[in-house]
Amino acid sequence: MASNLVPITVAHGDGIGPEIMAAALHIIREAGARIEPEAIEIGERVYLRGINSGIEPIAWESLRRTKVFFKAPITTPQGGGFKSLNVTTRKTLGLYANVRPCVSYSPYVETKHPGMDVVIVRENEEDLYAGIEHRQTDEVYQCLKLISRPGSEKIVRYAFEYARRNNRKKVTCFTKDNIMKFTDGLFHKVFDEVGVEYPEFEKEHWIVDIGAAKLADTPEAFDVVVMPNLYGDILSDVAAQIAGSVGLAGSANIGDQCAMFEAIHGSAPRRAGQNLANPSGLLHGGILMLVHIGQPEVAERVHNAWLRTIEDGIHTYDIYKEGTSKQKVGTKELAKAVVARLGQNPQKLKAASYAKAPKQTVDHQLGATKRANKQLIGVDVFLQWNERNPTEFGKQLEKFNGDGVRLKSLSNRGVKVYPESFEETFCTDHWRAGFFAEQESGTLTHQQVVNLLDRMQKAGLDFIKIENLYTFDGQKGFVASQGE
Ligand code: NAD
């Protein structure tokens, strides 16, 4: 009956996208999925038609109506061109949680980690993916890393709720808060705070570099791992690859209102149009989608038929191994093999069970933000100056002291170079001059900052941006330069 069908928005994507989407849709339909796909076009082809954003209003309209998006990978131009449609979609639809289960299927798919079953929960909206980038001088470019308290609270709570609903035992957090003390420091702090509400779990935090090494070496030691956007992006590919193939893992992008399901890999343009690609990653995204739209019994049929196919040694090139595999197949043939096994269960691998599938969204009750007593105590003025002589520039900048403001230090790429510098320290044309209230523990007004900039522009200095330096309830809201 038509009214039974759940409308879903489908993008067939670029590169291998159309082939793997056709295969995944064929399987889930044959398994009895009650869906009504609405195709939209996004990405390269739309961009080439002259739509700079790569997505048209009609596509947004479909997404906002169906609230469920099944998406094949999209090519994102590197270094220029349109912004990542994946990132735009995730952020515009508020899909803050990216859940990526990475499971090994030993001995049927070769892996060095037979017992691997790790779920990466990646923050999906913030961090360096805000896409706020600037060229500021001839020599220096910047990308802003934004981490918010509500954003961190939402993703960390999601990770713990996911762990609770899926009977997981441990939740690990990765950050680099020894270096990024404020941004990653906040994420870690929120992990510790929210973790208190989930006493049943073992909890741990790793610095991301050694954590990544440990994950790649001993993934069995991890269960649910939550991390900021960039680390999660990189490490979920690593985790999927060491589980067997990047072509195997799917992901759910969950928001409060909408959700998007996809493979974790990209559009693999070199493999496109050859009936080679493994559709399993996207199919796993589809299984997560079926659970989300309330068709867990179909998800189970699909997943178990797929496990049986893998057990039967019917493998695409990326996981095919002489001796272990029985038959090397293309995208279409893999789909046919899965369809032929619908209704069957794996014999050795653990069968999937979604009978009691937990819902995938989480109810958030974000507390009201506590507003601190915020005091302006200084300003960092960033300037372009083309000589590589910090002492000379520091002396020039001291001439702007007065009106209750004084230069405290000058730094270059975060290293203090005035007063006192090492001749070994390399300087670019991008400088940060820290001006503070003249009086110890004094405050500044915005007008004093404007006056300082006015004096600088009259002297012909090129200030490229400022950052106000605040205290929040007496705590410094900025980090000192290295060497300060
Ligand atoms: P990729 O994941 O597309 O491919 C890397 C390699 O992995 C391929 O050459 C292939 O050897 C293998 N591979 C990937 N998927 C496979 C599959 N299903 N079956 C068999 N082998 C597979 O990574 P890339 O080459 O860095 O990116 C290509 C494009 O995809 C870029 O434009 C990138 O921006 C985009 N991308 C899109 C998404 C997305 O849509 N969510 C995610 C990542 C990358």
Domain-embedded: residue 483:
no
What is the residue range of 51's domain? 1-96+244-358
The answer to whether the CB of 390 is under 6 A from ligand 1 is: no
pLDDT digits (tens, 9 = 90+) for 411-454: 999 999 999 888 899 999 999 999 999 998 899 999 999 999 99
Residue at which a domain ends, from 192, 214, 242:
242
**C-alpha 131 – ligand 1 centre gap (Å):** 21
- Residue 231 three-state SS: helix
Rounded to 5 degrees, φ, ψ at 126 are -120, -150
Element (DSSP H or E) covering residue 124: none
Domain-embedded: residue 330:
yes
pLDDT of residue 48: 84
How far is C-alpha 329 from the geometric centre of its chain's CA atoms? 32
Residue at which a domain ends, from 208, 223, 242:
242
Q: Do 117 and 8 have their domain in common?
A: no
Q: Do 227 and 124 have their domain in common?
A: yes
Q: How many CA atoms lie within 13 A of 412 on its CB side?
A: 26
- Residue 257 three-state SS: coil
Q: Do 152 and 225 have their domain in common?
A: yes
Total count of domains within the chain: 3
Q: Which of 481 and 321 is assigned the larger pLDDT?
A: 321
Q: Do 215 and 121 have their domain in common?
A: yes
**C-alpha 86 – ligand 1 centre gap (Å):** 13
Domain-embedded: residue 52:
yes
Domain-embedded: residue 104:
no
Q: What is the CATH number of the domain that holds 441?
A: 3.30.70.1570
The answer to whether the CB of 184 is under 6 A from ligand 1 is: no
The answer to whether the CB of 281 is under 6 A from ligand 1 is: yes
Strands of 430-437's sheet, edge to edge? 415-418, 405-412, 430-437, 374-384, 462-472, 475-476
Domain-embedded: residue 64:
yes
Q: Do 248 and 227 have their domain in common?
A: no
Collect all residues with Cβ–Cβ distance below 8 Å to 433 and sequence separation of at least 6: 380, 381, 382, 383, 397, 407, 409, 410
Q: Which of 233, 286, 274 is nearest to 16 (CA)?
A: 274
Q: Do 395 and 472 have their domain in common?
A: yes
Residue 3: which pLDDT band, with cuts at 50, 70 and 90? low
Q: Do 120 and 211 have their domain in common?
A: yes
Q: Is the pLDDT of residue 2 over 70?
A: no
The pTM of this model reads 0.91
Domain-embedded: residue 484:
no
**C-alpha 288 – ligand 1 centre gap (Å):** 20
Domain-embedded: residue 106:
no
Q: Do 137 and 237 have their domain in common?
A: yes
Q: By the 8 A CB rule, do 98 and 232 touch?
A: yes
Q: How many CA atoms lie within 13 A of 172 on its CB side?
A: 20
Domain-embedded: residue 364:
no
pLDDT digits (tens, 9 = 90+) for 93-105: 999 999 999 999 9
Q: Do 297 and 414 have their domain in common?
A: no
What's the mean pLDDT in 96-120? 94
pLDDT of residue 441: 87
Q: By the 8 A CB rule, do 102 and 239 touch?
A: yes
**Which of 230, 246, 282 gets mutated to test ligand 1 (max ligand atoms within 8 A of its CB)?**
246
pLDDT digits (tens, 9 = 90+) for 213-237: 999 999 999 999 999 999 999 999 9
What's the mean pLDDT in 123-136? 94
Q: Which of 334, 274, 288, 241 is nearest to 99 (CA)?
A: 288
| High-pLDDT (> 90) share of the chain, % | 83
Q: Do 235 and 116 have their domain in common?
A: yes
pLDDT digits (tens, 9 = 90+) for 145-172: 999 999 999 999 999 999 999 999 999 9
Residue at which a domain ends, from 187, 219, 242:
242
Q: What is the CATH number of the domain that holds 327?
A: 3.40.718.10
**C-alpha 329 – ligand 1 centre gap (Å):** 19
Q: Do 234 and 268 have their domain in common?
A: no
Collect all residues with Cβ–Cβ distance below 8 Å to 2 and sequence separation of at least 6: 36
Q: Do 471 and 408 have their domain in common?
A: yes
Phi-psi bin for 438: left (phi > 0), alpha (psi -120 to 50), beta?
alpha
pLDDT of residue 1: 45
